[in-house]
Each structure stands twice: as C-alpha cells, then as structure tokens.
A and B are shown apart, each in its own frame.
Chain A
C-alpha cells in the first residue's frame, strides 16, 4: 500500500509560516497534483514528504508507517527536481545507475535495471552521452529513468516541465501521464500551471498561503469550486465574480452568453454587457467589458466560440447577456466560501 498521508503538517522558516496545517491523503496509485501560485507551500510540502525538509510539526505517513524519522533514502521515494538535478560529470548510464550503486546493488543487476529503465523511457540510445549533450526533453526522461530505476513506492515531481518550451510541454505532459498509467506508482506532482494540473491530475489539491483550499477531481474543482480563490485560480480567463445582494455571483466566461444564443431558463441572471475590447484567438473570441450598474466598471469576460458568427458582437456596443441558473455559483461576500443557491 503506497498511500501518502499528511497530517496537520506545519513548516515555519523563522517567522515565516510556509505551511500552515495541511491534511491531505493521496491514494495508492493515484496521480495527485499540488497546484497553487508561487509561495503557496506546495514545494515545501513536497520536500517534507521527501525528507529534504523537517516539518515543524505534523506527521507524514507513507504506506503504513509514519516516516518523519526516516532519511529520504529510506522512505521508498524517488524525486525529479525542477532543473532535473542530473549529475553533469557522469554519463546518462551512470546517472541512472547512481541510486543503485549507493544501495550497494550487484554490478550485473545494476546493468540490467539501467537497461530496463532506459527502455521504459525510450532513451537507450542516449546511455553513453553526458547530460549537457542532451536536449531539455531528453534530460527530463533521464531524470525520470533515474527515479524509476529505484522502483519507488512514491514518485515526487517538482515542476519538471517548466524548463521546456511550450510546444514540447504538451507532448511531454502526455508522455508523463501515459508513463504513470503504465507503471501505476503513486505520484505527487507540483505545479503552478493550472492547465498542466487539469490535464495530468486524477485529483488536484489547490493550495494557497500554506493551506489546502480544495481537493478534488479536475471536474469537481472546476465546476464546484469551494471558494473564490479556487474559482478564479482555475480557468483562463478566470471566473467572473459579481457582488450582488450581499453575496458574490460567479459564472465562467464560457457560460456568459448573448441572450439570443439560447432561451434563458427561469431564474437566469440577466446583464447588460458593454463590450470594450474583443480578442480574436482563432478558435474563439474573448470579449472584455463592463456590466452596467454593477461593480463600478470592473471588467468581465465572455468566451464566444468562433464558429458561431451570430449574434454579432462588436466593440463599443451593449448587449443583453445571460447566465443559466445551473451555471451560477454563489460565494459569501466576506469569506469567499461557497454558499448554496438563491433564496
């Protein structure tokens, strides 16, 4: 059983509280993503799980034991660092073999395992090169092979894709997901990129200021945000938030439509949307504008699929827009926490 549990985890750096009481459970075989802006404590939490930082208080359970007292090498974990941390003076082959050598494994056995790991990542032909001769994507695979070769019970990955350029990132993301599915090892992945998180995670834990704001599947987090932070962190452009009647009404830009596009149900919200600016993005257009009579000129966004030419929406004009009641989310104006529907 390779579950990972964090209980009441806290970490202070001097006066600064980086992690403020985190309770989390990662299930066996699951791909869990820690998502949040920089400084939210996601990397610190990961490092505590790895054993590279000592928690100020709280417990970490891996499998069926509390591992606080164990050094990283005894926790059954493997880690891929941002920047990969490949040993520059060793060939790829020796990089991958390194963790096995420190364990004192027999030579022939090491050779076999290295071959297997390299094969699993498709880098067998690179075994005799040095890291500086590899591209970013290849380096990442070597880092993964080095992690894999130890047959860990938990994989920990710290923003491993952030060094790659955008195009490469998408394909690398797919490969990573495939890889994890095949191997089935519990994986914890840290990122600030919400698209990455949504694409990779079985479940996502959204963190802010050292606290977990919500844990759930991508769908749960996106459709049912627990508070305004999660609501606006996921989705680009973020969810529109409109203060009204002592509460905050939230609706996603893709649900913010021209009244003529579909009949509005009873209870639908109606707005007069004055369009200031339109961006043409190929597959869609994004309209930025203000809603008359509300939130003194704050900007709201609407996403309009490009294949719908009608109804025509132009800059400088005002149009009647609606949001279906099922698409409305309500939040408490003071705390930002989610509250149930109208009435």
Chain B
C-alpha cells in the first residue's frame, strides 16, 4: 500500500462539489425567510416599543420621549380596565366552550354512521369561512329587529315580544353573543385536532390496555388522554392566543359596544391608535398583549417538544 497514486481533479468548476458547501448552502436558503421576518416582524415590534414610550400622535408627528407615561395613563383609564377584563372573559369563555363542543363533535365523528362525511363537511364550515363573512351573518341573525333567534324564542313562548333580548345592544347579552360566535368559529378546529389525536394512538396501545384490564374510562383518562395531551394543548394555546389578540369579531359585530362592554385589547388599540391617531397610547395598549403571548409561548414550546404525534 505504499504505491503512489495521482490525485484526480474534477473538470469544470473549481469550487469543489456541493457537499463541501452544504452548510453554506443551507444557511443561504433559510436567509430570505429570516430577513423577511426580521424586517417585517422584528423591526415593527421594536417600533411598537418605541412608539409606546413616545408622545407620537398622528397630528403632532413628534417623537418626544415620555417614558412610561402612556402606560400609566392607559392603566388608570377605567375603559382600559374594563377592556382587560372583557378580553380575559372573552378569551377563556369562548375557548372553553369551543373545547367542550369540539370534544363532543370529535366523539360524534368517531362513530361510523351514514352521512358522516357530509356532517364533517358541514361541521368545519365555521372554521373555513372568513371571519368577516361569518361575523356579518351572525350580526344579521342577532339583529335587534329581525333576529331569527328572537323569533324562535317568542314563538316558543320563552320571551314576550315586547321585551325580547337585544343580543347586540345590551351589555351582558352582547358579551354572551360574541363569546358564542367565537366559540362557533373555534370549535371545528378543536374537533379536528382532537379527532386526529384520538386516531393517532396506536391500536396496539389500546389493545394492551384492554388486556391489562382497563375499562373504557380508565383507558381513556389514563392512557389515551395523556398521550394526546401535548397536541391538544398546542391547539388550545393557539386558540387562546388568537382569541386574546383578535379584534375581528368584536369590531364587526358590536364595535366594542354597548358602552365598551365588549371592547377588547385589540379593538381598543385599533380605536385609539388608528382611528383616533394616538399612536403612542395605542402602542401601549397593544403591548399589554405581550405578557400573555410570552406565557403562551413558553407553554407552547414545552408542549411542542413533548408531543408524540
């Protein structure tokens, strides 16, 4: 093995071959995505921080630094406090309702029955359809004069035609309305994820539990549920985050009314920052979303890593 051999060189490009540069190539391919995200998410985020500590106002266009004044003013405002509570109530109530409905729907869809495919098609419609179109449909359904819901209630003799509920015009009812609408939008996604989770548990595991003597409930709670918990939590966290930060349903259905009883952080930020032009204050309101996001992200990361499906 002491023979000498000549080194063969590739013809053409002297850059060596692709595998030498795999790392460089890899970085290059991801670069555009990272640049885009940095430019249009990271930079604006920093801008938002910057605005929140300035007296930036559409009228004045001055950037004078005002420290935490915006945050203090905002927090003192009773409208804001109401808004914060509304946002929490809206978020958790609608997601909880969606979770329960989603679970029921998933269990229904697990069973084989004639027309199941059609039911599945219909059930995902609330999630598939754009929020704006769904919202105005509900607005029509809950209209103060022509609401079909009220028509049913009156004809079922549950309410009198003179004092029927104004679903979008009375304080408590308005909140109930938007909670129901949001739950209606969310529950198909919850059902689908639940279904996916349930069907992904390997049959061998369920059979083993059966053989080990576990009845239906024990099997479900001690074996199946823990296995699909990570993906369920991811889906739930997504729902919570998107509801907490959303303003579409509120803006389209009640515009935050009546008297701010359905105002949420997102719609308030829109009103103050965009409609009224008080950018500094609007930014401060938006930033109240951030702590919630951080907490949600923390849990999301934990569950994303833990998932078995």
A and B touch in the complex (CB under 8 A): yes
Q: Does A128 reach chain B (CB closer than 8 Å)?
A: no
Interface size on B, residues (CB 8 A): 13
State A65–B9 Cα separation when bound (angstroms). Answer: 9
Q: Given the complex of chains A and B, what is the CA–CA distance between A54 and B18 in angstroms?
A: 11
Q: How far is the CB of B21 from chain A (nearest CB, A)?
A: 11
Q: How far is the CA of A83 from the CA of B17 in the complex (A)?
A: 25
> What's the Cα separation between A25 and B18 when bound, in Å?
28
How many A-B pairs with Cβ below 8 Å?
41
B1 partner, pick from A25, A52, A64, A74, beta carbons under 8 A: A25
From A23, A53, A64, A71, B17 is in contact (CB under 8 Å) with A71
Are A69 and B1 neighbours in the complex by a CB distance under 8 Å?
Answer: no
Chain A CB within 8 A of B118 CB: no
Chain B residues numbered 1-33 whose CB sits less than 8 Å from any CB in chain A: 1, 5-11, 16-20
Q: How far is the CA of A145 from the CA of B5 in the complex (A)?
A: 31
A69 touches B5 (CB 8 A): no
Report Cα–Cα, A67/B7, bound state, in Å: 6
Known contacts A70-B10, A71-B10, A65 near B19 by CB under 8 Å: no
List A contacts of B9 (CB < 8 A): 69-70
Tell me whether B19 and A69 are in contact (CB under 8 A): no
Query: Is A66 in contact with B5, judged by CB distance below 8 angstroms?
Result: yes
- Across the interface, B8 reaches (CB within 8 A) one of A7, A25, A54, A70, namely A70
Instruction: Name the contact of A23 in the complex, choosing from B1, B5, B6, B20 (C-beta under 8 A).
Output: B1
| 4 residue pairs, one from A and one from B, having the closest CB atoms | A71-B17, A65-B8, A66-B7, A61-B5
Known: A61-B5, A68-B7. 8 other contacts (CB 8 A): A5-B1, A5-B5, A52-B19, A65-B5, A65-B7, A65-B8, A69-B8, A69-B9
Query: Residues of B at under 8 Å CB distance from A?
Result: 1, 5-11, 16-20
Could you list 24 examples of A-B contacts with CB < 8 Å? A5-B1, A5-B5, A7-B1, A23-B1, A25-B1, A51-B19, A52-B19, A53-B19, A54-B19, A64-B5, A64-B6, A65-B5, A65-B7, A65-B8, A66-B6, A66-B7, A66-B8, A68-B7, A69-B7, A69-B9, A69-B16, A70-B8, A71-B10, A71-B17
